[in-house]
Amino acid sequence: MKRSIVFLLSAMPLLWGVDAWADSYGNTVTLFKNAGDSATFFQNCYGYAVFPTIGKGGFIVGAAHGRGRVYVHEQYMGDTSMTQLSIGLQAGGQAYSQIVFFEDQRAFDEFTNGNFEFGADASAVAVTAAAGASAGTAGANAGASGGKKDASTSGRYYKGLAVFTIVKGGAMFQASVAGQRFKYTRKT
């Protein structure tokens, strides 16, 4: 099983091309600032974690991984990584961008103190109408829109966090239980 997961993670750059992994953080933040309700969260949030590209793939057993940066009041604070394992009915591969907003310092502290994991009750708002309905935390999400720039989304904080995703490419069918685990490293 470990070999299958390692293979899936190592094959993801081939599925979407090496350039998919080289996206800049600034471009991704700009994309979310121009996409529906996620734009309003920048005005009132304490901070956010942004992931330019998360690669996801699976066939019964699935995995996703991405690296990101954490900002407080637009100041770079450190690096983060997201890992997701899932098991259940799923097949395909997908790449997406994700942003996690922190409502206040308490939410930021919870996220950055060691390993943080979303529970089954967390959800993400998909900013595009593509096959991103399953690109969320714990396999549960909501979403609607026609495009990245004119998205019609509705998000809200849940336990101090709000999550938005934008599908970049690929196609994935998933009906599985999955959770995202985050690891934070403070800037040195």
In this predicted structure, what is the pLDDT of residue 85?
84
Confidence class for position 148, pLDDT limits 50, 70, 90: very low
- Mean pLDDT value across residues 52-79: 92
- Mean pLDDT value across residues 70-96: 89
- Mean pLDDT value across residues 97-113: 94
Check whether 97 has a pLDDT greater than 50. yes
Domain count, the chain: 1
User: Could you give the angle at the alpha carbon of 90 between the alpha carbons of 64 and 37, nearest 5°?
Assistant: 60
Q: Which pTM does this prediction carry? A: 0.72
Question: 3-class SS at 85?
Answer: strand
Q: Which sign does the torsion angle of CA 146, 152, 156, 162 carry?
A: positive
Residue 24 domain boundaries: 2-186
In this predicted structure, what is the pLDDT of residue 81?
95
